[in-house]
Amino acid sequence: MSFVSPLFLWYFMPAVLLAVLLCPRTWRNGIVAIGSLLFYATGAGAFTLLLLTCMVVNFLAGPVLEPDEWGMRPVRRRRWTLVGVIAFDLSILVIWKYAGFATEQIAAFTQLLGGDFPVVELALPIGISFFTFHHISYVVDIYRGERRALRNPVAFGTYIAMFPQLAAGPIVRYREIADQLPQLRSHRLDDIAAGFPRFALGLCKKAIIADSLAPMVDACFSTPSDEMTFGIAWLGAVAYTLQLFFDFSGYSDMAVGLGRMLGFRLPENFARPYASVTITEFWRRWHMSLSRWFRDYVYIPLGGNRGGARKTYRNLCIVFVLTGFWHGAAWTFLVWGAYHGALLIIERAFGWDRTPSATGPRIARRLLTLVLVIFGWVFFKSADLGSALTMLGHMFLPDFEGLTDLVDASLTNQRLVILLAALSMFALPAHPVTGPLLESSRSLPATALRVTVMTVGLAYAAILVATGTFSPFLYYQF
């Protein structure tokens, strides 16, 4: 079930919200947990059993991992329990997400030697990367003593399976939401009043902008290498840069808005990333929940920046190779992660990670950062490395060959208008961030934006959804 499907918008979401509002407050976690599992089952089917198995293992491990105040619980047993649970979580992720890729590489190598090796083909469970990271956050935060283990399976199910963030984030670290999980929490109508405009903003981003750009992006990236031109390459790269942002940030806005309507405060995931002046700043603004997760559970445990420049660069390299591979089992994602890791290392090595104070250099650095990010998205989107290198090569070689008939047909007047409107975001200032402004501010500009989104934007988005002109969220595949 997708957030932009009629089934969700007109039946599931209203039913869950009404149940949460009308039933006793002590029922709310149960309503959210059961509704979330039903939400997941409609799309994942039998994979719901895999999710439930992971939930049972991590829930049972929680009390064992918890340090006691007298220090009587053996540290060694706690440590090995943690290692075992994390190994279990990662093995599930590795088997279902990376077994096919690994066997493809072995089969290719074996074929060179004249042999044969079977390739494993497994369907990817929806949201497996996200619920795996939630489980790891849960057990690590308990082991560190930052939060207590949950004894109530309903509260645990609410955290792990909560439908706003289950399929594509944001990644909610356990310590960020533990204090919100007790059942006797207040739930007010003003939560819905604050959360619904945020949800509507995300729906507009997805249905009006991202889905309108999708046919254009697909036409450009599917262009054969012998027909690729300078114009097609740049059009595809820039359009995808915009599509990915509006698609993923739209999902995040919808998730945060849904969470708020249910009485939860989920973490922000985007803060105008294309306004970044450095790549370092970009990663403080893009998919922020993923960056924080890798910082807390990988980068800092590896030593962070405490061991000198060489170890810092090593840690950055490890984190961003893992970041790339977390997105998908393909060489393109691995190269994309390594590319960003290399850019971060270069910035730190030469002191370019600081924002220039003068206006001219700051604008120049912002343009350079944007171009570097666009180059990276070519790897992220391309089907293979050859296609990515072909497109990048044409981006560096101007020509006057124009567009193919297929690309030209995808560039309708309506899509061209939306593309030009979306391009304006490249010139927007870094602050304020639209989502939080829309949700909490009572200023005149925020009110005007809220009214526009809730009337014109929501009506148009609803028409698009009703006519079936929507596509799955891009991050569902991760």
pLDDT tens column, 71-96: 666 778 889 999 999 999 999 999 99
Please state the rounded mean pLDDT for residues 335-360. 92
The count of C-alpha atoms lying within 13 angstroms of the C-alpha of 452, restricted to the half-sphere facing its C-beta, is 8
Higher pLDDT, 140 or 468: 140
69 falls in which pLDDT band (50, 70, 90)? low
Statement: residue 44 has pLDDT above 90 = no
pLDDT of 305 reads 86
189 falls in which pLDDT band (50, 70, 90)? confident
Please state the rounded mean pLDDT for residues 331-348. 95
Tokens 């930052």 found at: 146
- Average pLDDT in the chain: 90
pLDDT of 71 reads 60
Residue 267: name the closest of 201, 155, 188, 174 by CA: 174
Q: Name the token pair of 121.
A: 């083909």
Statement: residue 124 has pLDDT above 90 = no
CA dist 465 → 10, 355, 412, 425 (Å): 11, 42, 19, 24
pLDDT of 187 reads 61
Dump the DSSP string for 82-141: HHHHHHHHHHHHIIIIIHHHHHHHHHHHHHHTT---PPP--PPPTTHHHHHHHHHHHHHH
Q: Name the token pair of 69.
A: 């105040």
pLDDT of 315 reads 94
183 falls in which pLDDT band (50, 70, 90)? low
pLDDT of 438 reads 82
Mean pLDDT is lowest, of 160-164, 460-464, 467-471, for 467-471
Question: Over the stretch 302-311, which tens digit does the pLDDT of each residue have?
Answer: 998 888 889 9
Please state the rounded mean pLDDT for residues 289-310. 92
Residues 6+ apart with CB under 8 A from 268: 170, 252, 256, 288, 289, 433, 435, 436
Statement: residue 175 has pLDDT above 60 = yes
pLDDT of 190 reads 81
pLDDT of 94 reads 92
Statement: residue 472 has pLDDT above 80 = no
Q: Which span out of 156-160, 356-360, 447-451 was modeled with the highest average pLDDT?
A: 156-160
pLDDT of 184 reads 60
Q: Is 327 a catalytic residue?
A: yes
Mean pLDDT is lowest, of 10-24, 180-194, 208-222, 283-297, for 180-194
pLDDT of 470 reads 67
Residue 215: name the closest of 245, 201, 234, 235 by CA: 235
Statement: residue 30 has pLDDT above 90 = yes
| % of residues, the chain, pLDDT over 90 | 63
Please state the rounded mean pLDDT for residues 96-102. 89
Question: Over the stretch 272-281, which tens digit does the pLDDT of each residue have?
Answer: 999 999 999 9
CA dist 420 → 68, 238, 243, 413 (Å): 59, 11, 12, 11
Statement: residue 68 has pLDDT above 80 = no
Contact 58, 89 (CB under 8 A): yes
Statement: residue 373 has pLDDT above 60 = yes
Q: Greatest CA span in the chain, whole angstroms?
A: 75
How many other CB atoms sit within 10 Å of the CB of residue 367? 12
185 falls in which pLDDT band (50, 70, 90)? low
Alpha-carbon span 321 to 333, nearest angstrom = 9
Contact 411, 216 (CB under 8 A): yes
pTM: 0.93
The count of C-alpha atoms lying within 13 angstroms of the C-alpha of 476, restricted to the half-sphere facing its C-beta, is 18
CA dist 400 → 203, 219, 225 (Å): 38, 19, 16
Helix axes 189-204, 13-22, angle to 10 degrees: 170
447 falls in which pLDDT band (50, 70, 90)? confident
Statement: residue 319 has pLDDT above 90 = yes
Set 327, 340, 394, 431: catalytic member: 327
Dump the DSSP string for 330-398: SHHHHHHHHHHHHHHHHHHHHTTTSPPSSHHHHHHHHHHHHHHHHHHHHHHHSSSHHHHHHHHHHHTS-
469 falls in which pLDDT band (50, 70, 90)? low
pLDDT of 135 reads 97
CA dist 157 → 139, 153, 251, 422 (Å): 14, 6, 22, 38
Contact 213, 419 (CB under 8 A): yes
Q: Name the token pair of 189.
A: 């109508």
pLDDT of 307 reads 81
Q: Which span out of 158-172, 229-243, 391-405 was modeled with the highest average pLDDT?
A: 229-243
Please state the rounded mean pLDDT for residues 389-402. 91
Please state the rounded mean pLDDT for residues 309-319. 93
CA 260, distance to chain mean position in Å, is 18
